[in-house]
Structure 1
Amino acid sequence: MMTYQTLLYYCYSPIAEAEQFADDHLKFCKSIGLVGRIIVADEGLNGTVSGTKEACEAYMAAIKADDRFAKTDFKIDDVEAPSFIKMHCRYKSEIVHSGLRDPNIIDPNKQTGKHLEPAEFQKMIDQDDVVILDVRSNYEHNLGRFKNAVTLDIENFREFPEKINELAQYKDKKVLTYCTGGIKCEKASALLLHHGFSDVYQLHGGIIKYGKEAGGEDFEGKCYVFDNRIAVDVNTVNPKVVSTCYNCGKTTPKMINCANPECNEHVTQCDECGDKLQGCCSVACTTHPRKRKYDGTGYYVKVPQPVNVAKK
């Protein structure tokens, strides 16, 4: 029985005294029994939290009762157990690290691509004048992506601005951007518009919402998520596994974090190689003195760090 929920959400909305807000928000989340990870910045909120259905309902009600965040769109998953171990709420310079901090150039509250609901996105993806653009990192789109999507060779979203010139060939197309929950597309689509792309769209609610409302049709593989589930199924219409084992090349839908904590690489790995390499991405990593015990999941609780330390 699914007695818990996991909420994925973001909201671009200015927060005065955001560092203090992060401290207060952490206390509130703990008081209602939530676990998860929330990033607070001057520009807004970005979070994934998990807890009982009652706690999640209380959290959503509190967020929507705040005029600054009333427009927040929550993606809700029913889960068997909480998707995190602890509750973290940290202040950072951006709610998604892009390096695009100049509000005179990129401000999602002023200009972004046209938001497409899942049904609208679904109708457009096969049109001849459309390009589907995945704005996520390599390890994410290697695990799963939309059929015929253009993917970028980036290790982190902050590298996206460097790829704009490579995308210039699509300026005369309708560019449909997508990511996990929609947050990266807010800035990616705005940057494309800034660089002269005239017909730019974004999948509202991202892959997660598309899976819930459109059955995930034509999304191939699994979707990487930033909690202890690691990956979730999306497509219930025409599912297909597209990822292969990093070590042997065998088709596999499974993703792990390397058991060597100093590597911690995200890789797709079959169970056979996982057992053989003890959850490591390579033979070299198996000899690391701090190698973590592999339990078959490939997920490890990070070494505890101080929370709410301002990063400027």
Structure 2
Amino acid sequence: MAKYNTLLYYCYSTIADAEQFAADHLKFCKSLNLTGRIIVADEGLNGTVSGTPVACKAYMDAIYADGRFNATEFKIDEVDEPSFVKMHVRYKSEIVHSGLRDPNIIDPKKQTGKHLEPAEFLAMKDDEDVIVLDVRSNYEHSVGRFKNAVTLDIENFRDFPSKINELAKYKDKKILTYCTGGIKCEKASALLLHEGFENVYQLHGGIIKYGKEAGGEDFDGKCYVFDNRLTVDVNSVNPTVVSTCYNCGKATDKMINCANPECNEHFTQCDECGTQMEGCCSASCQSHPRKRVYDGTGYYVKVPQPVNVTKKSKIQLA
């Protein structure tokens, strides 16, 4: 039996007084000794939590006991240790930030692309009239993506709407969207439909469910996840490595955060360069006075940046 479970989930469902719900939910999660990160908004929940199997079952039971969240689908991973250090529950304007909060444009409770189960996605993805569209950010698809997928040059999902014009050339195709767990596709597919794309689909449960139910076939590389694992294996059928070390160019699928907390950049780095660079992306970061101790994992608890400091990405991941 696994020592711990990690649960990935989301649910679009209206929450009255969501800010108070978030405060109460944090207390509940702590009572179960869970760690994780949950976003609460008026439109629903988006979370990853980790704890003992007993605690995780109690959490899932409580979510299902609340009638608002009956549609929640949990992706469950067995892990050797908790996937987070602390428990955070935060109230935000959206459970995934798109920058579009007009319910007349995007409301996943009313309209999204047609959901494809992993087996359906696998059977359909290579058809001539199909475009497989990755709606994730650069650092996510740089370390892993479906073969022949269309990827977008975006730093955050909120940049997705600005790419609609680039996708116009595919309007006569069937668009199959995918992301980590499905939540981004709910809004991405809804926006595509709003913009006149007629045949829009989405991978139900995202890459994580696809790995569990379809063996991850034709997913190259690893899947980026938003916890201290950083990436997870997906493909047990025909795995390959698609990413390279930022420093030396050698093939590697290890992704880390820069040891300089004022950079904290996501990038791929081989173990040799990790040791040599002490987990930093550059010599300037390696000499930074606030550099954190690199333990080989490249994951750190977030350190607040100084006020009025704007982080600018120095790295363009292919």
TM-score range, shorter chain: over 0.9
Q: Does 1:82 align with 2:82?
A: yes
Where relative contact order (Cα < 8 A, 6+ residues apart) is larger, the structure is 1
Q: Distance in 1 between matches of 2:285 and 2:97?
A: 28
Q: Distance in 2 between matches of 1:53 and 1:302?
A: 26
User: Mapping of 1:1-312 within 5 angstroms?
Assistant: 2-303=2-303
Instruction: State TM-score, norm by structure 2.
Output: 0.95
**CA offsets, 1:135-182, max 9 Å, x none?**
000000000000000000000000000000000010000000000000
Shift of the alpha carbon at 1:302? 1.5
4+ runs of 1 displaced by more than 3 Å?
Answer: none
**CA offsets, 1:112-146, max 9 Å, x none?**
00000001001001111000000000000000000
Q: Distance in 1 between matches of 2:157 and 2:303?
A: 24
Shift of the alpha carbon at 1:33? 1.3
CA RMSD of the aligned region, Å?
0.9
Q: Distance in 1 between matches of 2:166 and 2:98?
A: 18
Q: Distance in 2 between matches of 1:303 and 1:127?
A: 46
Q: Distance in 2 between matches of 1:247 and 1:158?
A: 29
Shift of the alpha carbon at 1:2? 2.2
Q: Which ranges of structure 2 fall in alignment gaps of 5 or more residues? A: 306-318
Shift of the alpha carbon at 1:219? 0.2
- Contact kept, 8 Å, 2:218 with 2:239, in 1: the verdict is yes
| 3-state secondary structure, aligned to 2:163 | helix
Q: Which residue of 1 aligns with 2:312?
A: none
| 3-state secondary structure, aligned to 1:64 | helix
Shift of the alpha carbon at 1:304? 7.1
Instruction: State TM-score, norm by structure 1.
Output: 0.97
Shift of the alpha carbon at 1:276? 1.0
Shift of the alpha carbon at 1:100? 1.1
**CA offsets, 1:90-127, max 9 Å, x none?**
00000011101011110000000000000100100111
| 3-state secondary structure, aligned to 1:2 | coil
**CA offsets, 1:16-56, max 9 Å, x none?**
00000000000011111111000000000000000000000
| 3-state secondary structure, aligned to 1:161 | helix
- Contact kept, 8 Å, 2:2 with 2:53, in 1: the verdict is no
Tell me which amino acid in the other structure corresponds to 1:171: K
Q: Which residue of 2 aligns with 1:310?
A: none
Q: Distance in 2 between matches of 1:303 and 1:137?
A: 22
Which 10-residue stretch deviates more, 1-10 or 149-158?
1-10
Q: Distance in 2 between matches of 1:298 and 1:153?
A: 24
**CA offsets, 1:234-278, max 9 Å, x none?**
000000000011111110010000000000000001111111111
Q: Distance in 2 between matches of 1:270 and 1:165?
A: 37
Q: Which ranges of structure 1 fall in alignment gaps of 5 or more residues? A: 306-312
- Contact kept, 8 Å, 2:137 with 2:156, in 1: the verdict is yes
Q: Distance in 1 between matches of 2:63 and 2:115?
A: 22
Q: Distance in 2 between matches of 1:303 and 1:257?
A: 12
Task: Give the length in aligned residue pairs.
Answer: 305
Q: Which residue of 2 aligns with 1:308?
A: none
Tell me which amino acid in the other structure corresponds to 2:296: G
Tell me which amino acid in the other structure corresponds to 1:174: K
Q: Distance in 1 between matches of 2:217 and 2:93?
A: 36
Instruction: Flag the 1:304–1:32 CA change in 2: closer, same or farther, 3 A.
Output: farther
| 3-state secondary structure, aligned to 2:127 | coil
Q: Distance in 2 between matches of 1:69 and 1:304?
A: 32
**CA offsets, 1:171-209, max 9 Å, x none?**
000000000000000000000000000000000000000
